[in-house]
Structure 1
C-alpha cells in the first residue's frame, strides 16, 4: 500500500469523513463552484488554507504599483501608522536619480511617495517607501517566515507585469511551488526559489503561502538575460548542476530578512498554526495530484467543516 493510500485509509477509519462518497460532487467543476462560493474570511485566523479566489483578493489588497521615470515595479503595503503607509519593494525598482515616486493603490488612486533613506538593508535588494492617505484606508500584509515553507509547497506570486495588458488592471497572480530553500543567501539576499512565472514589473510584489501570508518579496525572474546573479554572499558559487536548476526558477528575498533589518516596519505574525498531522494532510491533499486519485470526491466536505462556515 502506498503512503498516500495509507494516510487516506487512516483518516477514513478515524471518522474524518461523515458523508457517503456518492453524496459528494463527482466533477471538479462542481468542486470549484463550491469552493468559490465560500464567504471570504481571514484565512490566517481561520487556521486554514485559502481558496484561489481569496488568495487573489488578498494579494490585490496589499500590492501596489510603484511608478518611476523609467517604468514601474510592484510593492507590498507593510505598515500603517495613522495616515502614513510604508511599502516594501526591491532597490532595483527604485534605481533612478529621483527619490520621489508615484504609488498606485489597489483602488486606483495615485499618491506621491518618498523613499525612506535611513534604513540599512546591508546589500539586500530591498527598499522602503512611504505615502500618506488622508481619506482611504488600505490593507496591510500579514507576514510569515519563509522557514515555514517546505520543498513542494504551493506559492503564489503577485505584481504588475510591464509587458502584460489585461482587463484586470494589469494585476497578475501566478501559481507555483517551492523548489529551492537556500541556507545561504545570494549576493542580493535571495534565498527562496520557486516555479511561479514572475515577469518584469512584478519585482517587489508579494510571494504568498496558502494561508495568504507574505513569505517573501519577488525580485528575480527565471532565465536572467545578463550577468551571473547566482553568487553567494560570501563570494562562492553554486555547483553547475544547482546553478542550472536555479536559472529555471524565480527567487524571493525571505520576509524574515526584512523583519530582521527593519524591525520598526515589519514584524512576523505571532499566529501559530497547529502543525498537526491533520493540517499537514490537508495541505498535502488539496494541492497535490492526490485529489485526482480520489476524483476530488471528499474535498468539498473538508471545506464545509472549516471555519469558513462558522462566521
Structure 2
C-alpha cells in the first residue's frame, strides 16, 4: 500500500494534465456537447461526456454598478485619510486619531495616550507636531482629545449613530502595526455591545457599553481611528477587539459617534469630563420586554445599589427608565449620553414605567467611582486592547526555564469586588476578595485553573481583600518559589473552593 499510493496520485495528475490539454484543443463551439476521448497507455480509449460552462458575461449595467461602488469606496478612503492621524505616546504606545475640529482638536482613545500629558501627532501631509492631551479620567469613557498647533487640517464629520443599522457598510482607517493610512472594509455586525476590558496602560478595567461591532479588520494601532459609513461620516471610534492572537479575528468594537460628540465637546469646552450617576445597573430592553412592560423603549433597571440616588428615589429592579428631565430616552445608550451630559450634584426628573404605569421621581445625581487599579498586569502594549494583553510566562513542563526579570506576577487581571462585579458575576452580597477579570495564557493563574469571575481570597495563607494585599504578599515571593492560592467559584448558586500550589515562573 505504501508504494501504490504515490503511483495512483501520479496517474491522477497525468489524467488531469492530459484532460487539460485535450480541453485546450477541443474547446470550440463546434465540439460543444461532444464526448472527449482519452487514451491511457495501451488501454482502449475512454469516452467522457464534456459539458462546457457558458462564457461569463458582465452586463453593462452590472459593471457600471460595480465601478460606481469601487469608485465610491476609493473616494471615501482618500477623503477620510486627509483627516486621520497617527499618535505616539511617551509610554511607547501608538495608535490613531482623527481631526475633530479644524482649529487643532484631535479625537482618540484614552488608552492610546495612556498617562502621557503630551504626544507626537503625525499628520497626513508628513508633518509631526506635539500635542497636549486632555483625558476623560473615567474608566467608563475611553476617549481623549489632543490639541495641536497646526493649520490646513481636514476635519471628519460625525454621523448620528442612532441611525446606524446592522448590515451597513463600514470603513476603518488607521495605523495598524504602525502602517499609516490603512483602510479596511466590512459591515456593522451588531449594535449595543458591552464588555469590561483590562487596560495595561492605565492599569484599570475599562467598561464599555453601546458599542458598534464590525467585521472590518481592526488591529493593534487602529485604536482611536474612525469607523466610517458610506458617506464618509464617523459613526464610531475604533477601540477594542476580541482576539486570542492580539490581531483581528473579525470582531472589533467602536464607541458610537453620539458618545464621542458628547464627551469631546465637554473636554474641549471645560478641559475635563464629569458625568452624573444614578446608582443603578441598566441595560437595553429586549423586544419581548417592550410588550411585557408596556414600554416603547428606554433602559431596563436590573438592580439598584443601596444608598445611591436611585435607591433613595424609590427606583427598583424591573423599572424601565423612559425619560430624563422630560426628554425621552428610547435606548439604554440614549440614557447614558444624557447622564454624560449631566453633572454630579445635579437634580433631575426621572420618568419610568412600573407595572405598565408611567411614573416620575426626582433625584440628585452622584459622582462616579474612581477607577481602581488592577494588580499583576503586564507592560503597556501597542495601543489596542485585547482579551489577553498580559505577558506570557512559562509552564511547568520540560526543562527549567530562565526566570523572568522584574516583580513577580500571577498573570491575572484582578479588581476589588464591588456592587458592579457582584451583579455581573452573581457573587453573594457578603463576598470579599479580589475578582479575577482575565487570565494570561500559560501564566501561573492559568496553571492553577483560575476563571473569570473567581474570587481570589488567599495567597500563601494570607487573606486577600484588596489589590494592595496581593502586592504586599508578592513582595516576599521570588520567581521560582512555590505559591499557594485559594479561589472561590460561584456557579448555579453553589460555591466551590479551589486550593492550588504551584511554582511561579
SS at the partner of 2:262? helix
Residue 87 of structure 2 is matched in structure 1 by 66
Residue 25 of structure 1 is matched in structure 2 by 60
TM-score (norm 1): 0.57
The answer to whether the 8 Å contact 2:134/2:267 transfers is no
Residue 187 of structure 2 is matched in structure 1 by 177
SS at the partner of 1:251? strand
Residue 55 of structure 2 is matched in structure 1 by none
Residue 162 of structure 1 is matched in structure 2 by 177
Task: Give the distance between the partners of 1:145 and 1:122, measured in 2 at CA.
Answer: 24
| Runs of 4+ in structure 1 over 4 Å off | 30-37, 119-122, 183-186
Offset at residue 194 of structure 1 (A): 0.8
Write out aligned runs for 1:289-300 (5 A). none
- 2:74 is the counterpart of 1:53: yes
Task: Give the distance between the partners of 1:62 and 1:265, measured in 2 at CA.
Answer: 20
Offset at residue 34 of structure 1 (A): 5.7
The answer to whether the 8 Å contact 2:94/2:178 transfers is no
Residue 109 of structure 2 is matched in structure 1 by 90
Offset at residue 26 of structure 1 (A): 5.4
Offset at residue 149 of structure 1 (A): 1.1
Per-residue CA deviations over 1:72-116 (Å, capped at 9, x if unaligned) read: 2100111133xxx111111111124x3111101110101011102
Write out aligned runs for 1:1-311 (5 A). 25=60, 28=63, 32-33=66-67, 51-69=72-90, 70-81=92-103, 85-96=104-115, 98-117=116-135, 119=136, 121=138, 123-133=140-150, 136-162=151-177, 164=179, 170-182=180-192, 187-189=207-209, 191-224=211-244, 248-264=250-266
SS at the partner of 2:131? strand
- From the CA coordinates, give the structure whose radius of gyration is larger: 2
Task: Give the distance between the partners of 1:185 and 1:71, measured in 2 at CA.
Answer: 22
Offset at residue 262 of structure 1 (A): 3.3
SS at the partner of 1:93? helix
Question: CA 1:93 to 1:190, structure 2 compared with 1: closer, same or farther past 3 Å?
Answer: farther
Offset at residue 189 of structure 1 (A): 4.2
Task: Give the distance between the partners of 1:192 and 1:34, measured in 2 at CA.
Answer: 27
Task: Give the distance between the partners of 2:241 and 2:139, measured in 1 at CA.
Answer: 22
| Runs (5+) with no aligned partner, structure 2 | 1-58, 197-206, 269-505
SS at the partner of 2:265? coil
Task: Give the distance between the partners of 2:229 and 2:133, measured in 1 at CA.
Answer: 28
Task: Give the distance between the partners of 1:199 and 1:191, measured in 2 at CA.
Answer: 17
The answer to whether the 8 Å contact 1:198/1:222 transfers is no
Where relative contact order (Cα < 8 A, 6+ residues apart) is larger, the structure is 1
| Runs (5+) with no aligned partner, structure 1 | 1-23, 38-50, 165-169, 227-246, 267-311
The answer to whether the 8 Å contact 1:64/1:103 transfers is yes
Per-residue CA deviations over 1:233-257 (Å, capped at 9, x if unaligned) read: xxxxxxxxxxxxxx75100011111
Offset at residue 184 of structure 1 (A): 5.8
Higher share in helix? 1
When the two chains are superposed, the root-mean-square deviation of aligned CA atoms in Å is 2.9
Task: Give the distance between the partners of 1:250 and 1:148, measured in 2 at CA.
Answer: 19
Aligned length: 199
The answer to whether the 8 Å contact 2:187/2:214 transfers is yes
Offset at residue 71 of structure 1 (A): 3.8
The answer to whether the 8 Å contact 1:121/1:261 transfers is no
SS at the partner of 1:125? coil
The answer to whether the 8 Å contact 1:159/1:173 transfers is yes
